[in-house]
Structure 1
Amino acid sequence: MATRRRQQFVHGQALWMGMALILLTALDALTLDLYFVLSLIGFLVLVELSAPFAVTPAWRERLKWIIFVGLILFAGIVFRRIIEIIPSGLI
């Protein structure tokens, strides 16, 4: 049972990331930052949609670390973008 749920989760994430890649390529907007952000959003949505009601399997506990690292990287991307926008004489 847990293996099937885990496989569904991985397949859902792979599908989301593939669709994001195709969409960004079709819109000619493919950058690593944007692809990462879309993949992280899909991951967070998938984690919430697939959350069990009663018992949390051990593999889902490890997702917290992936979320933590993803949010740290997201904060770094946002910080870098803010620094790029702010005029150089203001810093």
Structure 2
Amino acid sequence: MFDEMQELASDYDDRIRNAREGAGYSQEEFASELNEKASLVRKLERGDILPSDDVREKLEKKLGVSLLEAASGDEEWEGGSDEGGLTLGDMVKRKD
């Protein structure tokens, strides 16, 4: 089940902008085609916000691109520190 997980591509903003420009849409025209606000398209293309699942699906369908990629679970988490592996404390950065 978890072997086939996908996540939003790290370059989703570039994929959206490049595909939109390649299709010849301005941000305003494209937003109108999606029935969304132009401000949403601007924020997505800047990477300021992540698209909801329904917006992502509309973008993928209209632009003919995939905004997903295989989850980057290259290494399996084994947990515990008995074997010298990472612990949660090794990964967390405190905000003091």
Normalised by the length of structure 2, the TM-score is: 0.29
**Whose helix proportion is higher, 1 or 2?**
1
Q: Whose Rg is larger?
A: 2
